[in-house]
Structure 1
Amino acid sequence: MEKTSFLGVLLIVVALMSSCVSAPIHYYTLMSSKPQSQLHPAVMPFVIDVLPVYVPEALDRPQFVVRNGLNGVLLLDNQQWSSNLGEELTESLSDQLSAYWQVPSSRGLADAASKRLLRVNIEVRRLDIWTDEKIVLVADWTVGFKDTSSIRLICRSQLHKPLGRGYQAIAIGMQETLAELAKVIAGTVDENGLLQCPSAFAS
């Protein structure tokens, strides 16, 4: 009888300990492992400065923030970016724009002062993620050269990306969405200077 009671208590203790073990945290990055090809054939006579990407405060965190139903959101503590979302977006877009233009970023570049500086400012206005369904990204962005700051392009992009199943698909979908956004931005500047927005949002 005592042995049976002991085994019963032991099973209860093991069950309680198992329930206290938290699920592992899975980390993801927005830095793409696929190198982007040069968008323009000519050598670009500038370096770029991608300013910190603005993200609404509710989204600027490491945890995935996904839509739940018509008007709800979920904060997924076990699915996280490797840093706050704003930092991830800035690093990813800077890297991809550098690849598309085949130019370096001005950060840490010794001779950056001797080159024309192109500034890129991106502000995320909407980022909705429906797990297993789609991503919707709306971003306002401007590009302009520092030496002619009064002349710049003011543009808006609205991107929709279907998703596969699972959280890994969210990370892949976000990488592909950012690659598409970077390609749109890179298409507005060539070796001769500013071109035009891909829509009517130019000034």
Structure 2
Amino acid sequence: MIRFLWMTILIGLFAGCGGSAPARFYTLMPANDPVAARGTLSDSAKIIVVGPVTIPAALDQPQLVVTKGEHEVEVLEQHRWAAPLKDEITSALAARLSRLVGDATVTAYAQSTSLDPNVRILIDISRFELRPKDRAVFEALWTIKMNDETAVRRGHTNVAIPAANSSYVGLATAQSRALDALAQDLAAALRTR
């Protein structure tokens, strides 16, 4: 009887070691992120700060959140963002804009504490849905403000990007491409202000 009890305990321990799959981490940063330039900024340098960015509370999770139906979402425990989603979005947009707006220094809101920006871009994301085996749906309102806090331009970006494949990597890539569309809208607005 004691031998059977020990065997049961050992089997339970070994079964627990085989556990769950390791977590996978995703980022929205562009693959060809530019290297930051070194040097000092003059007082007349154009500085653009992206953020703050707001997202729906249901999406503000370390895990990927996918839409399962009209009123159902699933939080994917084994599929996580490499950083908090708001930070991922803000940094990814700043990186994209720095490529599109060549005459300015572009930085993310959380990284700009020592800078006095000429322009601030506020973004309110209302939808950033992942639809498995389908697409990413993105919708945001944005405002470009000058350093005197006057709103120069307001806009709305609404896109649905098909996933390249049925994997979660494909969905994260579709979300990243949605940020490309937002960055292009912002760059166009900055050029025409």
TM above 0.5 = yes
Q: Secondary structure at the match of 2:20?
A: coil
Partner of 2:147: 146
Q: Does 1:17 align with 2:25?
A: no
2:30 counterpart residue number = 32
**Could you state the TM-score of these two structures normalised by the residue count of structure 1?**
0.76
Map of 2:68 onto structure 1 = 68
Q: 3-state SS of the aligned residue for 1:61?
A: coil
Q: Give the aligned CA root-mean-square deviation in angstroms.
A: 2.8
Where does residue 134 of structure 2 map in the other structure? 133
Aligned equivalents of 1:10 and 1:122: distance in 2? 54
In the other structure, the counterpart of 1:201 is none
Deviation at 1:34, TM superposition (A): 2.8
What letter corresponds to residue 161 of structure 1 in structure 2? I
Aligned residues: 177
Alpha-carbon separation, structure 2, partners of 1:15 and 1:71? 39
Flag structure 2 segments of 5+ consecutive residues without an equivalent.
Answer: 35-44
Deviation at 1:53, TM superposition (A): 0.8
Distance 1:96 1:80 in 2: 22
Aligned pair 1:77/2:77, yes or no? yes
Paired AA for residue 137 in structure 2: V
Query: Does the Cα contact within 8 Å between 2:53 and 2:90 map onto a contact in 1?
Result: yes
Residue matched to 1:179: 180
**1:84-107 residue CA offsets vs partner (Å, 9 max, x unmatched):** 111111111111112210221365
Segments of 5+ residues of structure 1 without an aligned counterpart are: 37-44, 195-203
How do 1:107-122 and structure 2 match up within 5 A? 107=111, 113=116, 117-122=118-123
TM-score, normalization: structure 2? 0.79
TM-superposed CA distance for 1:118, in Å, is 1.1
Check the 8 A contact 1:51/1:120 in 2, yes or no.
Answer: yes
Please give the alpha-carbon distance, in whole angstroms, between the structure 2 residues aligned to 1:98 and 1:17.
Answer: 48
AA partner of residue 136 (structure 1): V
Is the 1:142–1:155 Cα contact (8 Å) retained in structure 2? yes
Mapped pair 1:49 → 2:31: no
Change (3 A) 1:109 1:68: closer
Percentage identity across paired residues of the two chains: 26
1:186 and 1:23 mapped to 2: Cα distance?
A: 41
What SS does the aligned partner of 2:161 have? strand
1:58 paired with 2:49, answer no
Using the TM superposition, give the Cα deviation of residue 9 of structure 1 relative to its aligned residue in structure 2, in angstroms.
5.1
Q: Partners in 1 of 2:136 and 2:180 — Cα distance?
A: 14
Partner-residue secondary structure (3-state), 2:74: strand
Displacement after TM superposition at 1:140 (Å): 0.4
Deviation at 1:69, TM superposition (A): 2.4
Distance in structure 2 (CA, Å) of the matches to 1:145 and 1:66: 36
Larger radius of gyration: 1
1:185 Cα deviation after fit: 0.8
Q: Does the aligned pair in 2 maintain the 1:61–1:83 contact within 8 Å?
A: no
